[in-house]
């Protein structure tokens, strides 16, 4: 029970919600993780000492044989809590983690939330199938089977409402795999010989239904699916440029690759339509290969598949099913950017087999590293910096840019890797007329964000410093990074209308694009840009006359 409490406390960070922090920030969960690691270390030490007092053998002391059971039940408990949380949100009893979505659980987006629920579902199925009979089993196993049914039912009530196709597909594959692994070969062979034609027809029908379902899922949100395919295409091109990994991060390498792709001009209309400025590759394998190198990605896959094989050989089908769901979900989402999935992945690896040998020593080492390495203090300082950031934002939004700059400068050491913070700080400096300093922080922001707005502000900074050629290069880079945006064409039109950099031919070309290009989303700002470009054109014509 002590060790189960330790494992459950480690996985409980998924239920930590921090609505007071900006949307998507998970520093609150890391702070909680820092606290529970010390608690877990204490639990392991207590068990270790009790085993010594009982004079167990060293083999029994070092082994952690029950970790699959602890991880399975801990994930089921957390999955049940998350499912109830989601039901409360659907019925209006709890607020979601994002204003744009009704259903998010403790997450900030329904996608990761659905992935977590899908990961728990095969464990519930395994728990239900593995307990055979009802009258023959004792009370505790009956309660275990009943709990698996209730939690699985709650998850099935919520999962369809998340509208996450990645989670749906992963859950189906994981549950089918668990069911297949629990088959009775002797009975299956008898039934196969007796009803072979029926099963072949049934298999063909199920396959046809799956194909139709896949097509239907694609057309449910076609642009979203095409957007994923385009992101993977650009990420693969970036990997070709950085086969050993890009030390500047995913955003820098991806932004550079997308910019180069559109600059060549060989792209289709749908690619321009679905292109965006993603924070993630929506494919953990491609992103790992891009940021850390192909060799590291291959090594991690070998380790993961090796642990999965050990778990399969040991009959831990529920844990293996959860791992399969996580691996499939990682193919089209970003779970490994969230603490809840990172901790769950490590626990699943241990539970698949290697936990029996290195479970206790590994937990002690992790707790020691987190504590001695000073991560707890670092995470606390970062959370305090977020509070100060809110005060800086109030000054920024009210137009008190000089005071805002001082507030932003104080928290820079703690938030220097946060893209939104860097952009706000740089934009505040831009508004204050500190163009050169603004560009320094915008250049840093390019390492953490693919947003072409960074290049737009850099171009405006250079224009304010009368460095027109550098301004043109920045704005053209913005155009090539995301050609569907009208704003950079508008800025180029204004740049070519500058008296010291006037180019009537280029101005007319930019004017034509601004006035005729169809926007992805129409807004009042687009109409204002078009009116301003027409007014600039009239002024230029009056000068010629």
Higher pLDDT, 54 or 440: 440
259, pLDDT greater than 60: yes
User: How many other C-beta atoms can be found within 10 angstroms of the C-beta atom of residue 525?
Assistant: 12
Determine the straight-line distance between the first and last CA of the chain, rounded to whole angstroms.
89
Burial of 265 (0-12, 13-18, 19+ CB in 10 A): exposed
Structural domains in the chain (count) = 3
Closest to 120 measured CA to CA, from 182, 74, 68: 74
Tell me the percentage of the chain whose pLDDT exceeds 90. 43
The pLDDT assigned to 524 comes to 87
Contact 22/388 with Cβ under 8 angstroms? Answer: no
Q: Say if residue 409 is in the same domain as residue 301.
A: no
3-state secondary structure of 219: helix
**What residues make up the domain containing 117?**
2-220+293-373
- In total, the chain counts a number of residues equal to 545
Q: Say if residue 340 is in the same domain as residue 393.
A: no
Q: CA-to-CA distance for 80 and 318, rounded, in angstroms?
A: 16
Q: Say if residue 504 is in the same domain as residue 398.
A: no
55, pLDDT greater than 60: no
The pLDDT assigned to 74 comes to 92
Answer whether residue 353 is part of any domain.
Answer: yes
Answer whether residue 152 is part of any domain.
Answer: yes
Average pLDDT of 52-72?
A: 65
Long-range Cβ contact pairs of 455-464 (< 8 A, separation 24 or more): 455/481, 455/488, 456/487, 456/488, 456/491, 457/423, 457/426, 457/427, 457/430, 459/488, 459/491, 459/495, 460/430, 460/491, 461/430, 461/435, 461/436, 462/435, 463/495, 463/498, 464/433, 464/435
* Least confident span in 39-43, 62-66, 431-435, 518-522: 62-66
* Least confident span in 38-42, 107-111, 185-189, 252-256: 185-189
Q: Say if residue 510 is in the same domain as residue 479.
A: yes
Answer whether residue 278 is part of any domain.
Answer: no
Q: Tell me 221's DSSP state.
A: S
Domain boundary among 328, 357, 373: 373
310-343: per-residue pLDDT in tens?
888 888 899 999 999 999 999 989 999 999 999 9
Answer whether residue 100 is part of any domain.
Answer: yes
10-36: per-residue pLDDT in tens?
899 998 888 878 777 888 888 888 888
Q: CA-to-CA distance for 450 and 253, rounded, in angstroms?
A: 9
Q: Say if residue 363 is in the same domain as residue 394.
A: no
| H or E stretch at 9 | helix 2-11
Q: For residue 186, name the pLDDT band (cuts at 50, 70, 90).
A: low
Average pLDDT of 245-267?
A: 90
Q: For residue 364, name the pLDDT band (cuts at 50, 70, 90).
A: low
Q: Tell me 64's DSSP state.
A: -
Contact 490/465 with Cβ under 8 angstroms? Answer: no
Answer whether residue 280 is part of any domain.
Answer: no
Q: CA-to-CA distance for 473 and 454, rounded, in angstroms?
A: 13
Answer whether residue 215 is part of any domain.
Answer: yes
Please list, in sequence order, all residues whose beta carbon lies within 8 angstroms of the beta carbon of residue 465, skipping any fewer than 6 positions away.
Answer: 435, 436
The DSSP annotation for 348-397 comes to HHIIIIIHHHHHHHHHHHHHHHHHHTTHHHHHHHHHHHHHHHHHHHHHHH
Contact 64/356 with Cβ under 8 angstroms? Answer: yes
Closest to 78 measured CA to CA, from 138, 36, 19: 36
| H or E stretch at 107 | none
Average pLDDT of 433-456?
A: 93
Q: Say if residue 117 is in the same domain as residue 133.
A: yes
Average pLDDT of 57-70?
A: 62
> Dihedrals φ, ψ of 331, to 5°?
-70, -25
Domain boundary among 373, 397, 428: 373
The pLDDT assigned to 66 comes to 74
Q: Say if residue 369 is in the same domain as residue 402.
A: no
Q: Say if residue 308 is in the same domain as residue 427.
A: no
State the residue for tokens 């129409």.
Answer: 522
Q: Say if residue 20 is in the same domain as residue 118.
A: yes
Q: CA-to-CA distance for 416 and 418, rounded, in angstroms?
A: 6
The pLDDT assigned to 468 comes to 92
Higher pLDDT, 71 or 184: 71
The DSSP annotation for 15-44 comes to G---TTSPTT--HHHHHHHHHHHHHHHHHH
Answer whether residue 467 is part of any domain.
Answer: no
Cβ density class 455-468: b for 16+ within 10 Å, e for less = bbbbbbbbbeeebb
The DSSP annotation for 409-430 comes to HHTHHHHTT-HHHHHHHHHHHH
> Dihedrals φ, ψ of 182, to 5°?
-95, 10
Higher pLDDT, 62 or 253: 253
Answer whether residue 275 is part of any domain.
Answer: no
Rg, the chain, Cα only = 28
362, pLDDT greater than 50: yes
Domain boundary among 402, 434, 449: 449
Angle at 457 between CA 452 and CA 459, to 5 degrees: 95
The pLDDT assigned to 121 comes to 95
The pLDDT assigned to 73 comes to 92
58, pLDDT greater than 50: no
Please list, in sequence order, all residues whose beta carbon lies within 8 angstroms of the beta carbon of residue 107, skipping any fewer than 6 positions away.
Answer: 97, 113, 116, 338, 340
Q: Say if residue 12 is in the same domain as residue 89.
A: yes
The pLDDT assigned to 367 comes to 59
Higher pLDDT, 295 or 207: 295
The DSSP annotation for 143-174 comes to HHHHHHHHHHHHHHHHGGGG--HHHHHHHHHH
Average pLDDT of 151-174?
A: 92
Please list, in sequence order, all residues whose beta carbon lies within 8 angstroms of the beta carbon of residue 446, skipping any fewer than 6 positions away.
Answer: 251, 252, 255, 454, 455
* CA trace torsion 112, 117, 7, 340 (10° rounding): 0
Q: CA-to-CA distance for 334 and 318, rounded, in angstroms?
A: 23
Q: For residue 151, name the pLDDT band (cuts at 50, 70, 90).
A: very high
Q: Say if residue 97 is in the same domain as residue 126.
A: yes
Closest to 304 measured CA to CA, from 247, 349, 364: 349
CATH number at residue 444: 1.25.40.10
Tell me what the pLDDT averaged over the chain comes to.
85
Contact 241/254 with Cβ under 8 angstroms? Answer: no
Q: CA-to-CA distance for 211 and 205, rounded, in angstroms?
A: 10
190-225: per-residue pLDDT in tens?
655 766 676 677 677 766 766 666 666 666 677 778
Q: CA-to-CA distance for 509 and 492, rounded, in angstroms?
A: 10
Q: Say if residue 41 is in the same domain as residue 124.
A: yes
């Amino acid at each position: 029970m002590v060790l189960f409490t330790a494992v459950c406390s480690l996985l409980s960070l998924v239920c930590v919600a921090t609505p007071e922090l900006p949307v998507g920030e998970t520093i609150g969960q890391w702070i909680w993780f820092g606290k529970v690691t010390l608690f877990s270390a204490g639990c392991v030490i207590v068990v270790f000492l009790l085993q010594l007092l009982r004079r167990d053998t060293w083999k029994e002391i070092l082994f952690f044989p029950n970790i699959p059971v602890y991880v399975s039940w801990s994930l089921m408990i957390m999955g049940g809590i998350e499912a109830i949380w989601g039901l409360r949100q659907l019925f209006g009893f709890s607020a979601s983690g994002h204003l744009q979505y009704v259903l998010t659980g403790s997450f900030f987006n329904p996608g990761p939330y659905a992935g977590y629920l899908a990961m728990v579902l095969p464990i519930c199925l395994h728990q239900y199938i593995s307990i055979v009979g009802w009258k023959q089993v004792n009370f505790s196993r009956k309660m275990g089977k009943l709990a698996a049914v209730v939690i699985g039912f709650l998850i099935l009530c919520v999962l369809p409402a998340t509208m996450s196709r990645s989670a749906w597909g992963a859950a189906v594959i994981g549950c089918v795999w668990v069911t297949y692994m629990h088959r009775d070969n002797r009975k299956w062979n008898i039934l196969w010989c007796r009803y072979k034609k029926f099963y072949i027809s049934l298999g063909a029908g199920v396959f046809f239904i799956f194909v139709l379902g896949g097509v239907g899922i694609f057309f449910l949100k076609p642009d979203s699916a095409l957007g994923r395919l385009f992101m993977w295409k650009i990420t693969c091109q970036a990997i070709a440029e950085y086969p050993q990994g890009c030390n500047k991060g995913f955003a820098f390498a991806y932004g550079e690759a997308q910019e180069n792709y559109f600059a060549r001009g060989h792209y289709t209309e749908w690619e321009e339509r679905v292109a965006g400025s993603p924070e993630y590759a929506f494919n953990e394998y491609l992103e790992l290969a891009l940021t850390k190198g192909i060799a590291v990605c291959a090594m991690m896959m070998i380790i993961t598949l090796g642990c999965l094989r050990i778990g399969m050989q040991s009959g831990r089908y529920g844990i293996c099913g959860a791992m399969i769901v996580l691996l499939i979900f990682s193919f089209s989402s970003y779970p490994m950017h969230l603490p809840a999935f990172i901790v769950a992945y490590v626990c699943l690896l241990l539970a698949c087999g290697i936990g029996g040998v290195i479970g206790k020593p590994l937990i002690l080492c992790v707790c020691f590293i987190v504590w001695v390495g000073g991560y707890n203090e670092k995470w606390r300082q970062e959370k305090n910096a977020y509070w100060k950031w809110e005060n800086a934002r109030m000054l920024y939004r009210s137009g008190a840019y000089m005071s805002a700059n001082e507030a932003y400068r104080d928290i820079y050491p703690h938030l220097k890797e946060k893209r939104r913070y860097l952009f706000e700080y740089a934009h505040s400096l831009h508004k204050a007329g500190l163009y050169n300093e603004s560009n320094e922080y915008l250049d840093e922001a390019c390492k953490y964000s693919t947003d072409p707005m960074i290049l737009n502000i850099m171009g405006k900074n250079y224009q304010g410093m009368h460095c027109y050629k550098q301004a043109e290069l920045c704005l053209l880079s913005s155009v090539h990074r995301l050609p569907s945006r009208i704003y950079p064409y508008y800025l180029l039109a204004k740049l070519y209308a500058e008296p010291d950099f006037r180019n009537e031919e280029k101005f007319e070309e930019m004017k034509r694009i601004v006035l005729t290009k169809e926007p992805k989303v129409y807004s009042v700002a687009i109409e204002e840009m078009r009116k301003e470009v027409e007014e600039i054109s009239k002024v230029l014509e009056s000068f010629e006359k």
